[in-house]
Amino acid sequence: MPPFLRSLAAFALLASAGCSLAPFQAEPPPPAPRTSPAGRGPVISEPPPVTSTMPTEPDVQAPPPSVPVPRERPKVAPATLSPASSALVNLSQTQRKKGDLPGAATSLDRALRIEPSNPLLWIEMGRLRMDQRNYAQAEAMGRKALSMAVGDSHTQASAWQLIADSLRARGKNPQAQEALDKARELGGK
Amino acid sequence: MAKRKLNPKFRRKLQRGFAIVALLGLLALIMLVAVLDRRVTQQFEGRRWTLPARVYAQPLELYVGQDLSSTRFAAALTRLGYISRSPVDRPGTFRRKGDTVDVYVREFRFSDEKQAAQKLRLSFDGDVVTALANASGTDVPVYRLDPLLIGSIFPIHGEDRIIVSPAEVPALLPEALKAVEDRKFDTHHGVNPLAILRALFVNVRAGQVEQGGSTLTQQLVKSYFLDSRRTLRRKAEEAVMAFILESRFEKADIMNAYINEIYLGQDGRRAVHGFGLASQFYFGKPLSELNLPEIALMVAIVRGPSYYDPRRQPERALERRNLVLKVLAEQGVVKPEEAQRAAKAPLGITNTASRSANYFPAFLDLVRRQLREDYQEQALTETGLTVFSTLDPLLQEKAEAALSDELERQDKGGRKAAHGLEGAMVVTTPQTGEVVAIVGGRRASFDGFNRALDMKRPIGSLAKPMVYLAALQSGGYTPASVVMDSPVELKLESGDLWKPNNYDRKIHGQVTLLRALTQSYNLATVNLGMEVGLGPIAKTYVQLGLDEAPPKYPSIMLGTAQLNPVEVAQMYNTLANGGFRSPLRAVRAVIDEQGKQLKAPELEVSEAAPAEAFYTLNRMLIEVFNRGTARIAQRSLPPSLVVAGKTGTSNDYRDSWFAGFSGGHVIVVWMGHDDNAPTGLTGTTGALQAWTRLMASITTTSFEPLMPEEVEDRWIEYYSGLETSPYCSGSAVSMPFEVGTVLNPSPACPPGITPEEGALMQPLPFAVPTEGEAAIPPGTP
């Protein structure tokens, strides 16, 4: 349904509801409507009418409810780095090549402060942990990246690749193979 | 005239006696000098290498797209002691012209590289940085400002200092010191007999010791041994030691030692020594950037740091500064017109009366504790380490203000029990587990009892999310599951019967998990917890990052476990981080004097448990703000900001807690009395207010975790847990469920109702209230 129709329908609902339904502004002051974090429609925040049957104004401020959740998760475009993070990742890689691992960590720390929810930075941190031979943390960084890459198969593939490498480095070959299969399935290199 | 002749024999004896006495005296003198020599030389050489670790805040990162306005940027520069002036021609200066700021960034040695001083131009568009370029116009992708010095880890006896090398000392300072304190410094041998005689004359006439004829060298010696008794013997010893110093060391070394050694002020427990720290303490900027009136003031303070304290005795200090300026002109150190101009300048001391700028003892306390895990005390206080901490100075200041404003509001409020409260606050960044601010009490700059770390209190209902987390992890519960909010009696280990009550003393009957948590119902929580079991509940404390689980008493479900605010922050940080545990850290890097990186806590993450339970719990904690005990905070928070959290109130209103988070920050607040007296406050009426003040005043992001793949959103009725449609139910709330979860449909408003159908339906009464609450409007806090 096109958005304008949806709004229209919602308005019709609210207008008719206003005649006898009194849930929306039962007590002052009305808190501002909040959107659920998943962005899938309003979370109506007023208590329901239990005693009151008095008609009240329709709550025209409430955003129209959106369509129910689709079962298929939408695909998300591959994650990218901001120019600032990108510069810091480059710097970190240069530092790594020179063997300056603490310096490389500092640069990634800086990038993570700028974009803490960018899965690519967590994968990069995991790669650094591989160089530091801290394989358990390398895997943990990969898993953290996965949690931030829902729907982004490209980034998921890189994270699984990192996890596979960290498992192999610890001699966990069957699990490493599983992780690698996941990476391949998701279209990684 | 007859001479009386001594018996020659006797004379020889007498002579021998004299010789022996003289020899012994000489020996004693030599020994004394040797002893003094040893003492003063050791002190002098030792002192040159005793440097407390310097601790820096996190640097301000500059980059295009950053959320920063030119006003806030100028304020950040001013805090760092940058001077607004034109032209911008030396490090430490800047100029703001509308939405463009030119800044000459100081040189600074970071943990990974030395950043050279550089001139930058930043352009802003409102709250966003739109361009960042260097002097030749080349774009710079990202750049760090030099960080704020927030203190140092000084030894127990409280001497703090920032060592400066001769190159960092403005040439005027030693000249001014000589002109005012010791005009013969360049030529004397440690003592100035003429000055001593003059002082003696004055003292004899005054009948007491009033004026010192001390050279700079003598003052240095006196400072080394921290003994201000002005006895003749001490004077003599000082003179000998000064003589020894002069004969062993260069004048330049002695001047440098003096500049780094001398006492220049007091800040609570901390004694401010040396001009390097004093410059930060009084002016908030490096010594090398001081101008003539500022240097003159420092020289004025030397004579009596408390008598001429520019914060407490500004008039006296100003008078003496101008006297110093006059002397400098007379002695030809500066031109008379320069001195006259300088005499018109204000004192220029940084902000408030009693505190030094940029000193955060509660945060430093945490830094010190974390460093002690890797370093010996001596390494921290003596070897000149540089510590890069995670403190965000702006946020720290806002946290201090939020807490003290709220405590003052309570002081003036009608609740007598809430007068004179204490408080504590901890702020962390969820993804990286960095501690960005800590407030240890009402007087944040007071280096005393640190409530954020040293005070353990029952956490009250802050413990409830742990019960629900255990329930969700067990796989048998969803937010729509129902549980009885009905009286419960439990036999405790002691044999006593435990009969908890609801906060509102009412019984709500059958309630959903969602409602029981958001409304913080005690009885429903205990009933749920007994079904889930104490073992899994206690285990969540470790999952969330505590070192050990609390004892498995039933009362832990209602928060009898005693934790400090930092521990609470650790646990809620793991929640905010979607179940990834990152040990909180206050330190990012440590380097030694040569710039080599040493051991420091690293960023670590570990997955505490599968993400689904955490995601679901967090969505329920968002509802605490939409319809639960934190609803009132909506009035003060930006409408689009999504946050999650939980109130906590301990027995008899002794502790008022709030712990909650946005996407970028976890904030934990405690309020209560030090003597544990009741406050009359709940988590909502106390701690939440301070929490909201801070959350509303900072730059942060919404809490918007990504939904795990195995989970989907569905609409349920808040009261019954039945699946419904938002188009016909006024209590519909969207909650996450594992894909394939079976939910009972609401008979009156089933799922799948379209807006059009909903519009035609009769309005519905809501889930039938159960016995015991028929007359209570649900949702009343």
Q: How big is the A-B interface in CB pairs under 8 Å?
A: 206
Ramachandran category for residue B264: left, alpha or beta (phi over 0 → left; psi -120 to 50 → alpha): alpha
- Ranking B23-37, B143-157, B434-448, B593-607 by mean pLDDT, the lowest is B143-157
Q: How far apart are CA B389 and CA B441, in angstroms?
A: 21
User: Measured between beta carbons, which residues in chain A are less than 8 angstroms from residue B603?
Assistant: 105, 109, 112, 125
Are residues B101 and B198 located together in one domain of the fold?
A: no
The total domain count for chain B is 4
pLDDT recorded at residue B414: 84
pLDDT of residue A5: 44
A contact residues 38-97, partner B, Cβ 8 Å cutoff: 38-51, 64-65, 68-69, 71, 73, 82-84, 86-88, 95
* B729-748 residues touching A, CB cutoff 8 A: 730-734, 736, 739
Mean pLDDT of all residues belonging to chain B = 88
- Which of B58, B589, B778 faces A50 most closely, judged by CB atoms? B778
CB contact at 8 A, B90 and B79: no
Q: Judging by beta carbons within 10 Å of its beta carbon (0-12, 13-18, 19+), is residue B776 exposed, middle or buried?
A: middle
Q: E strand or H helix at B526, and its extent?
A: helix B522-532
Q: B198 vs B77, which has greater pLDDT?
A: B77
**B216 has pLDDT over 70:** yes
Which residues in chain A are closer than 8 Å to B772, comparing Cβ atoms?
none
User: Between A20, A46, A112, which is nearest B432 by CB?
Assistant: A112
Rg, C-alpha atoms of chain B: 34
How far apart CA A136 and CA A122 sit, in angstroms, is: 14
Among left, alpha and beta (phi > 0; psi -120 to 50; other), residue B707 is beta
Catalytic residue among B70, B152, B181, B214: B181
B338 is known as an active-site residue: no
**The pLDDT of residue B266:** 86
Same domain flag for B590 and B650: yes
In a domain, B665, yes or no: yes
One domain, residues B107 and B180: no
Q: Is residue B4 a part of any domain in this protein?
A: no
Q: Token digits for B772?
A: 């015991």
CATH code at position B679: 3.40.710.10
Bond before B583 cis per omega within 30 degrees: no
Optimal mutation site among A4, A5, A36, interface B, most CBs of chain B within 10 A? A36
Domain match, B517 and B624 both: yes
Domain span holding position B92 = 59-146
Evaluate if residue B644 carries a pLDDT over 70: yes
Query: Does residue B357 register a pLDDT over 60?
Result: no
Whether B178 and B72 map to the same domain: the answer is: no
Q: What does the radius of gyration of chain A's CA atoms come to, in whole angstroms?
A: 25
ipTM above 0.90, yes or no: no
Query: Is there a contact between B520 and B779 (Cβ–Cβ < 8 Å)?
Result: no
pLDDT score recorded for residue B228: 59
Per the CB < 8 A criterion, the answer to whether B581 and B543 are in contact is yes
Q: Give the pTM.
A: 0.80
Chain A contact present for B760, CB below 8 A: yes
At A167, the amino acid letter reads L
Q: Minimal CA–CA distance to B465: which of B394, B543, B366? A: B543
Q: A34 versus B67: which is more confidently predicted?
A: B67
Residue B739 lies in a domain: no
Active-site residue B520, yes or no? Answer: no
Per-residue burial over B522-533, b = 16 or more CB atoms within 10 Å of its CB, e = otherwise: bbbbbbbbeebe
Q: What are B106-119's pLDDT values in tens digits?
A: 999 999 999 999 99
Last residue within a domain, chosen from B146, B176, B196: B146
Dihedral sign for Cα B618, B623, B626, B632, please.
negative
In a domain, B498, yes or no: no
The strand pair at B644-649 and B655-661 is best described as antiparallel
Both B517 and B657 in one domain: the answer is: yes
Task: Provide the 10 A C-beta neighbour count for residue B135.
Answer: 12
pLDDT of residue A61: 39
pLDDT at B62 over 50: yes
The residues of chain A that CATH labels 1.25.40.10 are 83-185
| Ramachandran region, residue B481 (left: φ > 0; alpha: ψ -120 to 50; beta: rest) | beta
Provide the token pair at B536: 């899994």
Q: Residue B559's pLDDT is what? A: 92
Give the pLDDT band of residue B47 (cuts 50, 70, 90). low
> Comparing B38 with B613, which gets the higher pLDDT?
B613
Sequence letter at residue A181: D
Q: Which CATH number fits domain A83-185: 3.40.50.720, 3.40.50.261, 1.10.287.180, 1.25.40.10?
A: 1.25.40.10
Say if residue B26 is in the same domain as residue B74: no
Do B73 and B208 lie in one domain? The reply is no
B462 and B606 part of one domain: yes
| Backbone φ and ψ of B122, nearest 5° | -115, 140
Query: What one-character DSSP code corresponds to residue B168?
Result: G
Q: How far, in Å, CA of A77 to CA of A56, rounded?
A: 45
Check B429 against A47: CB less than 8 A apart. Answer: no
Q: Residues B335, B449: one domain?
A: no
Residue A31 near chain B (CB below 8 Å):
yes
Reported as a single tens digit per residue, the pLDDT across B149-197 is 888 777 655 677 888 888 889 999 999 999 998 888 888 888 877 777 7
d(CA B597, nearest CA chain A) in Å? 7
The verdict on residue B73 lying in a domain is: yes
Residues A66-101 have pLDDT tens digits of 444 445 667 888 899 999 999 999 999 999 999 999
- Cβ pair A106:B588 closer than 8 A: yes
Over residues A112-143, the pLDDT tens digits come to: 999 999 999 999 999 999 999 999 999 999 99
User: What is the rounded CA–CA span in Å between residue A33 and residue B658?
Assistant: 22
How many percent of chain B have pLDDT more than 90? Answer: 61
Q: Identify the residue among A19, A34, A73 best suited for mutation to test binding to B, counting B beta carbons within 10 A and taking the highest.
A: A34
Q: Say yes or no: B168 and B250 in one domain.
A: yes
* CA–CA dist B771, B542 (Å, integer): 38
CATH of the domain at B314: 1.10.3810.10
Q: Is B780 domain-assigned?
A: no
**Is the distance from CB of A88 to CB of B142 less than 8 angstroms?**
yes
Asked if B505 and B522 touch (Cβ cutoff 8 Å), the reply is no
Mean pLDDT across B220-224: 83
Provide CB contacts within 8 A for B562, sequence distance 6+: B456, B457, B458, B459
| pLDDT tens per residue, range B240-273 | 888 888 888 889 889 988 998 899 998 777 788 8
